[in-house]
Amino acid sequence: RKEVEQDPGPFNVPEGATVAFNCTYSNSASQSFFWYRQDCRKEPKLLMSVYSSGNEDGRFTAQLNRASQYISLLIRDSKLSDSATYLCVVILSGSARQLTFGSGTQLTVLP
Amino acid sequence: DAGITQSPRHKVTETGTPVTLRCHQTENHRYMYWYRQDPGHGLRLIHYSYGVKDTDKGEVSDGYSVSRSKTEDFLLTLESATSSQTSVYFCAISSSPVRTSGIYEQYFGPGTRLTVT
């Protein structure tokens, strides 16, 4: 079993739609969680950190469920510019800030 | 954007030749990382550094070595390149910790596309 698993995708949604991605992690000692965005042939860029209480940044909402060991990302009112691959990232406690990446979920927002 | 550059950005080399990739940062961050990204595998950690001359292995370190003689530079060396090392290589740095949450965020360089023929 992979340490971090994501929805396989791809997700193709129309502009304005709401789309949600889930990500599960296997190590209950995991400490920190992030969503990164990666455009084609570009570097990953931090989208948002995921806090225990959940957090929102504009159209993006991230949630953490420690009991079920998953995090989620909700994108409201999708824009064409949201088309990218979204990477779920987990830091294990005591791992000297090493990130474990999910394989990513590809999102295409259609006009 | 974080001040991270990688060089070269593209390289084609032959099997058996040594190759060195450079990562340079202007943020004075303590932690630096080398990842490789391949289809179907996502990003995998090769080596990381937690200070000058302090490095450690990651998940896929075989065939790679690193050096960090200055805070701003982290070098990745393929001692004898193989075709399986054809990949996109990303360098990353850790931002300063957020005291209230203890969350450490990484920022990535633009990547180096390496092809080993």
Residue B68 has pLDDT above 70, yes or no: yes
Nearest CA in chain A to B50: A96
Least confident residue range of A21-25, B37-41, B58-62, B86-90 = B37-41
Taking the CB of residue B80, how many other CB atoms lie within 10 A of it?
11
A14 CA to chain B: closest CA distance, Å?
Answer: 26
Q: What is the mean pLDDT of residues A86-99?
A: 76
pLDDT reported for residue B99: 40
Residue B84 has pLDDT above 60, yes or no: yes
Which residues on chain A are in Cβ contact (under 8 Å) with B33?
98
Residue A79 has pLDDT above 50, yes or no: yes
Nearest CA in chain B to A33: B103
Which residues on chain A are in Cβ contact (under 8 Å) with B101?
49, 51
Q: Say how far apart CA B114 and CA B117 lie, in whole Å.
A: 10
pLDDT reported for residue A3: 85
Q: What is the mean pLDDT of residues B55-84?
A: 95
Structure tokens at A23: 């990500």
* Residue type for position A71: I
